[in-house]
Chains A and B, each alone.
Chain A
C-alpha cells in the first residue's frame, strides 16, 4: 500500500508546454506539500495546503498553480514550462496542527516526479 503516490514518475516535455503532476496520500493527513529538488539536491518547499487551504506559498513563479480538490489530493499545474523548471518534484504529507507536537508532524514523501524540459 503506497502512502504518498505521485504521477507521473517521469515527465519529458518541450519548453512552453503546460503540464500537471498529481499527488495522493492515503495516510489521512491534513497537510500536503510540494517541494522542488534541483540538480544540486537542494530540497525547497514550494506550497503547502492544510485541509484544502493554502498555508505556505513561497516565492514561486505564478506559472506554478497548486490545486487541492480534497485533503487527500494535491496537484501541481505548471504553465509555459522553462528549462529551469527541470528538477525532481516531491509531494509530501503530514498530520500538521498549529504549534502541534513534533512527532505528529513528520513529513512522508512521495517517490518524486522527474521533470525534464527540453
Chain B
C-alpha cells in the first residue's frame, strides 16, 4: 500500500528554524517533492529529492533517506509569510512507465511574531 505521514500542525516563532518531517511507505518510489500551499491558493513547488542527502535552496532545505523512508523540510529564518501548509508528495512509478504523485495530508505551519 501507499502511506505518507506528516504532523498535522506545527507552530514556530519568526526568525527561528523549523523542521517538518515526512515518513512514507510506497512501492515504486521514484522521488519526493515538497510543496507549499497558502490558504485558498494552489500548491507551489519547493523542492525535489531523488537521491539520499540534503538539497539546499536559500532558506529552505530538504533531506531524503530512502532506506529509512524519511524526508524532512527545513525552513530557516522563518518569516510570517511562511505560514502555510507544507505537503510531502512521493513520486511512485507505475506500470507503463508513467509516475503519479501521492500526497500526504500536509502540515499546517503557523509562524508567530
Interface, chain A (partner B; CB < 8 A): 31, 40-45, 48, 50, 55-56, 90, 96, 98-99, 102-103, 105-112
Chain A residues contacting B50 (CB-CB under 8 Å) are 102
In chain B, positions 72-104 with a C-beta closer than 8 Å to chain A are: 85, 87, 89, 91, 93-94, 96-103
B97 touches A99 (CB 8 A): yes
A110/B91 contact (C-beta < 8 A), A42-B105, A55-B98, A98-B97 known: no
For the complex formed, measure the closest distance between the CB of A81 and the CB atoms of chain B, giving whole angstroms.
22
Contacts of B93 in A (CB 8 A): 99
Interface size class of B (residues with CB under 8 A): 20 to 34
Which interface residue of A31, A99, A102 has the most chain B CB atoms within 10 A?
Answer: A102
User: Which B residues form the contact surface with A (CB < 8 A)?
Assistant: 30-31, 33, 37, 41-45, 48, 50, 85, 87, 89, 91, 93-94, 96-103, 105-106
Q: Report the bound CA distance from A48 to B98 in whole Å.
A: 10
Main secondary structure of the interface of B (DSSP, over half): strand
Please name the residue on chain B nearest to A90 by beta carbon: B42
Selected A-B contacts with CB under 8 Å, 20 pairs: A31-B98, A40-B105, A42-B106, A43-B106, A48-B98, A56-B94, A56-B98, A56-B100, A90-B43, A96-B99, A98-B96, A99-B30, A99-B99, A102-B50, A105-B31, A105-B91, A106-B45, A108-B45, A109-B42, A110-B42
Tell me the bound Cα distance from A95 to B14 in angstroms: 36
Measured between alpha carbons, how far is A51 from B50 in the docked complex, in Å? 25
